[in-house]
């Protein structure tokens, strides 16, 4: 199998050769990631359009290498523990993550709450590093958590600095799901919120994603001035008051600005 793609460095077309079995294996992994549940061989075959025999063979191979786990009771498959190990290896080499370490610790010291670094991956935000609060009751986000960019403060912090067409595509793909009673579900209200984020410099999430959590986030920019992610302060909703949210938001903006400067 071969696909044509544009080489942006030379402005010429080039052929990218795809190994069919590898391509199918990654499509199975992507399906299980997106579904977030165990699936049988027949379910995977139906969702991908692959032959069930092919799915079975690939699943057995992926299970052998730890990329898939097989539930012995119901014979269904889910993502395997080996993927975590691979992910941790990638994250350990992520230069942005290393640079951000001290800035996240600074946010924890300042706020007493947990801090996180997230990056935009396609239409979703991925948490790539965290520093947890020392408080007994604290927010404990997990490295590797993926959420639609339309549902979180870190997502709003990034979307506010993307073009209108980019934002429209992300909303079209991810939607504006009602995760809680306070989730923003109307496009016009969401766009107005992004305008407010641009004006004040930081985004907020007051129980929009999780009923028990509040969060503030500010955008982080790459060397080219393109927004790449966000840093956040996250804490229990009973402890992060509106006054604190404003104060933490300003601190996030200032800290994210210094982090961005270090990435240039």
For 151-165, write each residue's pLDDT tens digit. Answer: 999 999 999 999 999
**Residue 57 — pLDDT band, cuts 50, 70, 90?**
very high
What pTM was computed for the model?
0.70
- The Cα-based distances of 121 to 42, 81, 100, 225 in angstroms read 29, 21, 18, 17
Residue 73 CB coordination number (10 Å)? 6
Radius of gyration for the alpha carbons in the chain, expressed in angstroms and rounded: 20
CA distance 120 to 150: 11
Question: How many CB atoms neighbour CB 56 within 10 A?
Answer: 15
Question: What is the pLDDT at residue 115?
Answer: 98
- pLDDT at residue 88 in the model: 65
Q: Determine contact, residues 69/81, Cβ cutoff 8 Å.
A: yes
So what's the pLDDT on residue 3?
52
pLDDT at position 225 is 82
pLDDT tens column, 189-232? 999 999 999 999 999 999 999 999 999 999 999 877 899 999 99
pLDDT in tens, 3-16: 544 443 444 445 66
Share of the chain above pLDDT 70, in %: 91
Q: pLDDT tens for residues 86-141? A: 776 566 556 788 899 999 999 999 999 999 999 998 898 989 899 999 999 999 88
In the DSSP assignment, the letter for residue 179 is S
Domains and CATH numbers, the chain: 2-81 (1.10.10.10), 94-262 (3.30.450.40)
Give residue 224's pLDDT. 76
How many other CB atoms are found less than 10 A from the CB of residue 86?
11
C-beta atoms surrounding 29 within 10 Å: 17
């Amino acid at each position: 199998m071969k696909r044509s793609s544009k080489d942006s460095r030379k402005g010429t077309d080039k052929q990218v050769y795809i190994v069919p079995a590898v391509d199918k294996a990654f499509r199975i992994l992507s399906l299980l990631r997106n579904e977030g549940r165990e699936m049988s061989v027949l379910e995977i075959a139906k969702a991908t359009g692959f032959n069930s025999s092919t799915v079975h063979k690939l699943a057995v191979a992926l299970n052998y290498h730890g990329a898939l786990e097989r539930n012995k009771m119901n014979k269904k498959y889910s993502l395997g523990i080996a993927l975590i190990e691979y992910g941790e290896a990638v994250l350990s080499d992520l230069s942005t993550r290393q640079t951000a370490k001290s800035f996240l610790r600074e946010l924890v010291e300042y706020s007493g709450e947990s801090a996180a670094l997230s990056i935009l991956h396609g239409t979703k935000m991925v948490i790539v590093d965290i520093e947890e609060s020392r408080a007994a009751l604290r927010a404990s986000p997990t490295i590797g958590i993926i959420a639609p960019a339309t549902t979180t403060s870190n997502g709003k912090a990034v979307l506010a600095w993307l073009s209108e067409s980019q934002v429209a595509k992300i909303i079209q793909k991810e939607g504006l799901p009602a995760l809680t009673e306070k989730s923003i579900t109307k496009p016009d209200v969401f766009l107005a919120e992004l305008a407010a984020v641009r004006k004040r410099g930081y985004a907020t999430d007051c129980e929009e994603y999780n009923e028990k959590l509040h969060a503030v986030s500010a955008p982080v920019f790459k060397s080219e001035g393109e927004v790449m992610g966000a840093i956040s302060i996250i804490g229990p909703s009973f402890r992060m008051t509106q006054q604190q949210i404003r104060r933490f938001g300003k601190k996030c903006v200032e800290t994210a600005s210094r982090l961005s400067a270090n990435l240039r």
